[in-house]
Amino acid sequence: MRRLRQRLSYSNVIATIALFAALGGGAYAAVQLSKDSVGAKQIRKNAVRAAEIKKNAVRGPDVRNGSLDGEDFGPGELPAGATGPQGPPGPTASASFSATPDIVLGASAEVGSTQITTDFDGRIMANASVMAAPDGSSNDQLRCSLSLGGNSSGAFDQVLPDTGVGADRGTLALSHGAELPAGTREVRVTCDSVAGQMTVERVSIIAWAVAE
């Protein structure tokens, strides 16, 4: 006993007390923490991350209903919904023109026109046909142009091939379309004789517009 007292020092006593405190505290904690005693309130916010969760540890029954939205799912993971009802048709407009002008062409001349009015921005499309007869004295040739909105730079030119001497009448088909804002637009057909002399006997124009 005397030898033990001689070897005791302050540092030895403190170290021994600290060792017993550590061992006793761990044992105490292990005894006091019962199953399911640690819940959400005991876990610091953002303390548990994806790396701490074992793969496939969280399944459907573990997720609260209504806690997920579309952003939490990858492409193709959610089933497509039912097809909705068809919406109402968009606004449209139309105009037409038909005449038998019997215009003898020398220089360029307007042979037919109509106007189309829209209260919406959209695409205006037009089709036109021109039937013309040559005078038969030469190789006659006809050129016609279809324009929208009074803009000649947007015209669509078409040339009726050489009809030949003594040939019968021929018909030109024209088509044009353009994106235009709301308003009243003129659809115009102009023609001229490229060679010889042609008489325009019939002109037809159909124009329509569809909202964007």
pLDDT tens digit sequence for 92-116: 999 999 999 888 887 788 999 999 9
Segments of 30-140 assigned E as strands: 92-99, 103-105, 109-118, 122-134
- Exposed, middle or buried: residue 184 (CB in 10 Å: 0-12, 13-18, 19+)? exposed
Q: What pLDDT is attached to residue 34?
A: 67
Which tokens belong to 75?
């492409």
Work out the mean pLDDT of the chain and round it to a whole number.
76
Residue type, 7: R
Indicate the range of 55-69, 125-139, 148-162, 192-206 predicted with least confidence: 148-162
- Angle 78-80-84 (CA atoms, 0-180°, nearest 5)? 145
pTM score:
0.56
Q: Report DSSP letters for 15-42, one per residue.
A: HHHHHHHHHHHHHHHHHH--TT---GGG
Element holding 143 (H helix, E strand) = strand 141-148
Band of pLDDT at residue 155, cut at 50, 70 and 90: very low
**Structural domains of the chain ordered from first start:** 92-211 (2.60.120.760)
CA distance 165 to 55: 88
Q: What pLDDT is attached to residue 9?
A: 58
Above 80 in pLDDT, residue 192?
A: yes
Closest CA to 199 of 108, 99, 98, 102: 102
SS3 content of the chain, % helix, strand, coil (to 5): 20, 40, 40
